[in-house]
């Protein structure tokens, strides 16, 4: 199987390739062989022990957490899951480091379509610099050399390992689901589309391809991702306008876009940032325009099984996704209304990728994707 | 000559302890990396065996440019799974205990 999916990706050496393959198989092993044992183990050992001591079942995720973090069998799985992510990055970084100089030179060739605008004065928000989200060494923004693209390349070639090859050759499965949602439910033909937190354009390029008549814009704060995004878009023959901006305060004029979208973005910001970002969405949308954010977690606060609730938060603690838990506790409905979205159009629902894009993958995680949708008042 | 650039390999974040203390965690991390390297070596050997079966005489470039087809990929995946099952047996056993 050829690992190179487009010409801006590096080709791993023999040993690098099989080292990366090991991580793919290690993660599959954890998912298929170890993880399914946790619920039965909890039910047959942890919960009965808890009942013996307290005379009742654990009430919420906090109580489950207190006992699980003391349990070495659970903690062994958790630690293995955590280091599989670290091994993924180190095995990919070897390839990127070895080929980086050549790749940076190549970006010059891949620059004709669309545009790239960087802003050296931009401040990277603290929520992106305080710790490295999902354990990518250096995070999204770190620059290791001139015109650096390394963090973007690392992100690109680690996603197939992360997802067990479930995202499609262009890592576009999630955006395809959003596009399906727009085509089925919103039914406008957008003239201008904005993707916030676009990084390397995984979620942006599919819009340029699905709506060839429209102008597509992508913004992000992280330069290494944007430089790579522009070159990658050219390698994949897509025209997108990328610029380095903070979604909390953008330079676009008001009433510009028909659709403002994002993918895996909101859960990586902060409490203070969310209302600002939503206000910006409302400002740059045309009256009657639609906002649609796709994120990892369904947005519902009804009570679930405490063990399930606890396991759902695994990434929050163990994969440096600190804000993703807190986002679920926020009053997004209220924030949307406050920003000027009409109440009756606000929906926390899910979008589905079609079978052509999911490559036969049937796991719920990739097929029923949470979206938060709202229309700006006309 | 390509310019030598060094990239960071450790992520910034809280120091978490999973098992008894950091040194136990470190040893498990090192065991998994060694397991990975055993897998790399085995795959390299597998590449050589496959090339030898076809050609008789091979050189280093043949090895480095070898790309396994899907069938061989699957065979390798199966073998890695067996390796992982062996190495992680104590952990599987702990989760099976009642
Ligand atoms: C998980 S990535 C998602 C990338 C892409 N949308 C995808 O689907 O693959 C989240 C991105 O949001 C960016 N980001 C976070 N906060 C931001 C902000 N306030 N303004 C612009 N970009 C931001 C990060 O730099 C990062 O690239």
Decide if A3 is inside a domain: no
Q: Which of A173, A174, A215, A377 minimizes the C-alpha distance to A290? A: A377
The CATH number covering residue A256 comes to 3.40.50.150
Complex ipTM: 0.95
Instruction: Give the integer Cα–Cα distance in Å for A230 and A232.
Output: 5
CB contact (8 A) between residue B95 and residue A26? no
Task: Report the pLDDT value the prediction gives residue A364, as an integer from 0 to 100.
Answer: 47
In a domain, A62, yes or no: no
Tens of pLDDT along chain A (378 residues) come to 467 899 999 999 999 999 999 999 999 999 999 999 999 999 999 999 999 999 999 999 999 999 999 999 999 999 999 999 999 999 999 999 999 999 999 999 999 999 999 999 999 999 999 989 999 999 999 999 999 999 999 999 999 999 888 888 899 989 999 999 999 999 788 999 999 999 999 999 999 999 999 999 999 999 999 999 999 999 999 999 999 999 999 999 999 999 999 999 999 999 999 999 999 999 999 999 999 999 987 766 566 789 988 998 898 888 888 888 888 889 999 999 999 999 999 999 999 886 555 554 555 445 678 999 999 998
Residue B30, min C-alpha distance to chain A (Å): 10
Report yes or no on B60 lying in a domain. Answer: yes
pLDDT of residue A72: 94
Where in the sequence is the domain holding A302, given as residue range(s)? 163-375
A150 touches chain B (CB under 8 A): yes
Q: Nearest chain B residue to A48 by CA: give it.
A: B98
Whole-Å CA distances, A348 to A222, A293, A301, A328, A339? 28, 10, 11, 12, 16
CB A250 within 8 A of CB A280: yes
Percent of chain B at pLDDT exceeding 90: 84
Query: How many whole angstroms from A104 Cα to the centroid of ligand 1?
Result: 22
Do the domain assignments include residue B52?
A: yes
Q: What domain count does chain B have? A: 1
Task: Tell whether B15 is covered by a domain.
Answer: no
CB A167 within 8 A of CB A353: no
Predicted local confidence at residue A352, as pLDDT:
87
Residue B41 is assigned to a structural domain of this protein? yes
Describe the strand order of the beta sheet including A257-263 as a list of residue ranges.
A115-117, A241-244, A215-220, A192-196, A257-263, A285-294, A369-375, A347-351
Mean pLDDT of all residues belonging to chain B: 93
Query: Would B68 be classed as within a structural domain?
Result: yes
Do B84 and A19 lie within an 8 Å CB cutoff?
Answer: no
pLDDT of residue A301: 56
Mutate to test the pocket of ligand 1, among A221, A262, A327 (most ligand atoms within 8 A of CB): A221
Number of domains in chain A: 1
CA nearest A14 in B: which residue? B64
What residue of B is the nearest CA neighbor of A99? B2
Q: Per the domain annotation, does A276 fall within a domain?
A: yes
B67 shares contact with chain A (CB less than 8 Å): yes
Q: In this predicted structure, what is the pLDDT of residue A316?
A: 87
Q: Is residue A183 part of a domain?
A: yes
Residue B1 lies in a domain: no
Query: Cα separation of A211 and A157, whole Å?
Result: 26
Q: Quote the CA–CA distance of A159 and A88 in Å, as a whole number.
A: 9
B41 is in which domain, residue-wise? 29-96
Strands A347-351 and A369-375: antiparallel
CB contact under 8 A, A14 and B63: yes
User: Residue A196 falls within a domain, yes or no?
Assistant: yes
Specify the length of chain B in residues: 98
> Dmax of chain A from CA atoms?
69
């Amino acid at each position: 199987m050829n690992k190179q999916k487009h010409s801006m990706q590096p080709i791993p050496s023999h040993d690098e390739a099989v080292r990366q393959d090991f991580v793919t198989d290690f993660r599959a092993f954890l998912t298929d062989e170890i993880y399914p044992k946790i619920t039965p183990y909890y039910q047959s050992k942890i919960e009965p022990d808890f009942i013996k001591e307290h005379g009742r079942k654990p009430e919420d995720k906090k109580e489950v957490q207190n006992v699980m973090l003391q349990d070495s069998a659970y903690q062994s799985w958790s630690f293995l899951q955590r280091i599989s992510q670290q091994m993924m990055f180190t095995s990919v970084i070897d390839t990127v480091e070895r080929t980086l100089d050549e790749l940076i030179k190549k970006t010059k060739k891949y620059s004709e379509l669309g545009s790239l605008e960087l802003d050296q004065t931009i401040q990277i928000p603290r929520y992106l610099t305080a710790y490295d989200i999902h354990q990518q060494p250096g995070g999204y923004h770190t620059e290791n050399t001139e015109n650096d693209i390394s963090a973007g390349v690392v992100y690109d070639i680690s996603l197939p390992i992360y997802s067990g090859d479930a995202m499609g050759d262009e890592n576009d499965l999630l955006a395809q689901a959003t596009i399906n949602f727009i085509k089925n439910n919103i039914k406008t033909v957008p003239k201008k589309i904005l993707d916030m937190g676009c990084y390397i354009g995984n979620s942006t390029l599919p819009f340029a391809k699905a709506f060839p008549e429209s102008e597509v814009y992508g913004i992000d704060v992280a330069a290494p991702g944007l430089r790579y995004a522009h070159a990658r878009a050219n390698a994949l023959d897509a025209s997108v306008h990328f610029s380095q901006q903070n979604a909390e305060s953008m330079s676009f004029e008001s009433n510009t876009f028909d659709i403002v979208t994002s993918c895996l973005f909101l859960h990586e910001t902060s409490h203070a940032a969310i209302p600002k970002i939503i206000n910006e969405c409302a400002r740059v949308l045309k009256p009657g325009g639609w906002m649609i954010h796709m994120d990892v977690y369904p947005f519902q606060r009804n009570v679930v099984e405490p063990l399930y609730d606890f396991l759902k938060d695994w990434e929050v603690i163990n994969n440096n996704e600190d804000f993703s838990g807190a986002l679920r506790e926020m009053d997004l409905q209220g924030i949307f209304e406050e920003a000027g979205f009409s109440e009756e159009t606000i929906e926390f629902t899910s979008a589905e990728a079609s079978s052509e894009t999911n490559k036969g993958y049937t796991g719920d995680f990739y097929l029923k994707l949470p979206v938060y949708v709202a229309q700006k008042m006309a | 000559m390509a310019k030598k650039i060094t990239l960071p390999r450790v992520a910034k974040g809280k120091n978490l302890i999973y098992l008894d203390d950091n040194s136990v965690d470190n040893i498990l991390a090192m065991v998994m990396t060694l397991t990975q390297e055993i897998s790399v070596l085995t795959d390299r050997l597998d590449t050589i065996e496959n090339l030898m079966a076809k050609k008789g005489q091979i050189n280093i470039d043949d090895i480095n440019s070898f790309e396994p087809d899907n069938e061989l990929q699957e065979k390798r995946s199966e073998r890695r799974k067996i390796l992982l099952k062996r190495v992680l047996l104590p952990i599987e056993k702990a989760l099976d205990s009642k």
